[in-house]
Structure 1
Amino acid sequence: MPNCDISSLDIELESSSGGRRRLSEHRGRVVVVFWEDRDHLGDNRALKDALSAIAQDRELGRELSIVAIGDVNAFDFAPARNVVRAAIAAIARTIGVEILFDWQGAMTAAPFSFVRGESNVLVIDREGRALLRCTGALDPSQQRRVLDRVRGAIGPRTRVAA
C-alpha cells in the first residue's frame, strides 16, 4: 500500500455525533481505522478491546485515535438513510464511540482501497504514513502484529499488554 498521507487526503465524512469529521484531524497521533459493514462488526472484537484499553489509558489515550467508519453505502437511499443514521447514532452513544458514515464508498478508493464485505483495519503513524493494512477477521497472530505496530508507533510508553 502506498503512503497514505491523511493530511493531504483529508477525507471528510458525516459523524454519528452530528456534523462532519476529517481524517486529518488526527494528525500527530497514531490512528487505527476500522472500516466495516454491519455484518462484520464482531470480526475483530478482541483487537478492538485491546486498542480500547490503550485508548482509555490516561497518558496513552492522547497518543492514539481509533476511527470507526461504517460502510453504509448499501443504505444510501431514502428512507433507509435516516433510519440507519439514527440506529448507528444510538449505538455510538451506547458504546461511547463516534462512528463515521461512508455513504459513498470513499474508503474503497485509492490509496485506501478497502474491501467491501470485509472488516478492514489500517494503522497510520503520526506523520500520516500507512504502517499496516489488514482485511478480514484477524487471527491472534495478526492481531498481535497490529498491536505491535501501534505500540511501536506510540513508543516506549505503551505498557498495556494484549
Structure 2
Amino acid sequence: MLSFNRRLFLLSAAALGGCGFSPVYGPEGGASVLQNNVLVDEPGDNASYLLTRELEDRLGRGSGGETYGLSLSVKTDQESVGKTVAQVTSRYDIVGEATYSLRELNTKEVITSGKVNSFTGYSATGSTVAELAAETDAFERLMVILADRIVADLQAYTTTNPL
C-alpha cells in the first residue's frame, strides 16, 4: 500500500525551491510587470469581446496608467465532424485562431507577437434551443482556451526577456 509521506513531499518542495524556479507573478517573477498593466484593445465583435474578457480576467484590468497594449485578431470556423446514417450533422467543431501583439503604449514598439489556436466541439442532436446553448458554450470555452494560451506565451516571454 502506498501512503503519503510528508517528509518526502517537504524535501522535494525544498529541492524545487532551490533549483531556481519562482512563481511568474512572484516578487522576482518576470510576468509580474504585466499584472494590471496591459490595456487590451477594444473588441470589435463577439469573439474578440469574449477573448478580451478572459484576458482581462487573467491579466487584470488597468486603471488608466497601463504601460503595454495588447492587439488581438480572432478567426473562427465551424466544421461538421459527425453525421448520422441519414446524413444529418450531429456534431460540430469550432476551430479558432488568435493572433496577438504586445506593444509598448508610449513608443508603439511591438515587444512580442504570436499566434495560438485550438478547437472545441458540441453536439447538435438536441432541440434547437439546446443546440444553440451548446454552440454558445463551445464558443466561450474556445475563447477561454485561447486566452490561457496567450497568457502562457506572454508569461514565458517575460520570464526569459525581462521588460
What is the TM-score when the length of structure 2 is the normalising length?
0.30
- Of the two, which has the highest radius of gyration? 2
Asked which structure has the greater RCO (Cα within 8 Å, sep 6+), the reply is 1
